[in-house]
């Protein structure tokens, strides 16, 4: 499989497993898991592809952001985070590091500095452990700006944080008082 094919499959998996499983008639359980064989069948029927379990394994293994995860016996698959549909990932609250980072486009800065970071259409605000990752995220949306999140203070003040399977920190909202522009 070429890199271009893997990227195309990964984007379609993101759409199905994070936002719109109904697009192909797929059903996710309450924790966001889809049956692997059903997923492959539905994708092939909808797209006319010849996706195999081996192809799916390659996409899951090589996705640089580790967006997807299998259950133990690889009979189920789900997105690690980033859902716009109501999913319970079963994540337990975790104590965050002192600081986390959020990358966004410069055009969103005024709104963020007025309202804080909101999850918008997603279930959580996504935060990075390092400036480099946050910068890469911000670049996807335009000229990047990086915000430092005073996460330890937020946690002390009662805000909950969760660590996804692919090491993205999640929280419901980041009020302005916990943000600093880098």
What domains can you pick out in the chain, each with its CATH number?
A: 3-79 (1.10.10.970), 100-181 (3.20.170.30)
Nearest to 166, CA basis, from 128, 124, 140: 128
d(CA 170, CA 161): 6
Are the CB atoms for 75 and 35 separated by under 8 Å? Answer: yes
Give the model's pLDDT for residue 26. 97
d(CA 121, CA 57): 29
d(CA 176, CA 182): 14
CB atoms within 10 A of CB 118: 13
Nearest to 99, CA basis, from 144, 153, 146, 135: 153
Residues of the chain predicted below pLDDT 50? none
Q: Which H or E run includes 19?
A: none
| DSSP labels, 106-119 | GGGHHHHHHH-EE-
Are the CB atoms for 26 and 32 separated by under 8 Å? Answer: no
Give the model's pLDDT for residue 122. 86
Query: 141: exposed, middle or buried (C-beta count within 10 Å: 0-12, 13-18, 19+)?
Result: middle
Give the model's pLDDT for residue 120. 85
Give the model's pLDDT for residue 82. 87
Q: Which H or E run includes 40?
A: helix 36-47
Are the CB atoms for 68 and 13 separated by under 8 Å? Answer: yes
Give the model's pLDDT for residue 117. 98
d(CA 134, CA 126): 10
Residue 98 carries which DSSP code?
Answer: S
Query: 92: exposed, middle or buried (C-beta count within 10 Å: 0-12, 13-18, 19+)?
Result: exposed
């Amino acid at each position: 499989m070429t890199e271009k094919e893997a990227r195309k499959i990964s984007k379609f998996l993101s759409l199905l497993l994070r936002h719109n499983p109904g697009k192909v008639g797929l059903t996710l359980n309450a924790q966001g898991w889809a049956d692997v064989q059903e997923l492959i069948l539905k994708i092939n029927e909808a797209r006319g592809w010849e996706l195999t379990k081996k192809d799916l394994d390659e996409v899951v293994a090589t996705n640089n952001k580790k967006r997807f995860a299998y259950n133990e016996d690889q009979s189920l698959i789900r997105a690690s985070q980033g859902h716009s549909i109501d999913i319970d990932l079963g994540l337990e609250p975790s104590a965050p590091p002192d600081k986390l980072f959020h990358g966004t486009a410069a055009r969103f800065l005024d709104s963020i500095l007025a309202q804080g970071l909101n999850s918008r259409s997603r279930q959580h605000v996504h935060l990075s452990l390092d400036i480099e990752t946050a910068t890469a995220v911000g670049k996807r949306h335009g000229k990047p700006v990086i915000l430092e999140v005073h996460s330890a203070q937020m946690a002390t003040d009662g805000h909950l944080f969760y660590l996804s399977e692919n090491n993205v920190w999640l929280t419901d909202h980041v009020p302005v008082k916990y943000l600093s522009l880098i």
